[in-house]
Amino acid sequence: MPRFHATVRVGLRPSVLDPAGEAVCAAAQRLGHGAIQSIRIGKAIEIRLEAPDAATARQQLEALSAQLLANPVMETWSLELHNREV
């Protein structure tokens, strides 16, 4: 069975306050990085899986992201399916 590698990125919806991101942004500005306008913190989830083809892998990962990895009430997610591994 072919193996795939994917990254799911999960972040707070733009309308949701990210106090951790704001704290990091304030620290960045304090350190002299005055050009930094905003920082939002999310997470990147690295996944390896087996699937017969890329379309099936994508379908499984999309279902998992919507069901468990992100909570649509306050988060959005995006999926990056990388190279098929040999």
Partner 1 sequence: MDVGVAVFPGANCDRDVGWALAGCLGWRVTFLWHQDATLPRKLDALVLPGGFSYGDYLRCGAIAGSAPLLGAVADFAAMGGPVLGICNGFQVLTEAGLLPGGLIRNRGLHFVCRDQRLQVASRHSPWLHHFAPGDALTLPIAHGEGCYHIDPPGLRQLEDHDQIALRYLDNPNGSVGHIAGVSNKAGNILGLMPHPERACDQATGGTDGQALLRGLERWTDLS
- Does 17 bind partner 1 (CB under 8 A)? Our answer is yes
CB distance 61 to 6 below 8 Å: yes
In 3D space, the residue among 43, 45, 41 whose CA is nearest the CA of residue 24 turns out to be 41
- Report the residue from 3, 71, 80, 84 that binds partner 1 according to the rule CB under 8 A: 71
Window contacting partner 1 (CB under 8 A); options: 31-39, 46-54, 65-73, 78-86:
65-73
| Look-up of token digits 């379309």 | 55
Closer by beta carbon to partner 1, 67 or else 83:
67
- Report the residue from 16, 44, 55, 63 that binds partner 1 according to the rule CB under 8 A: 16
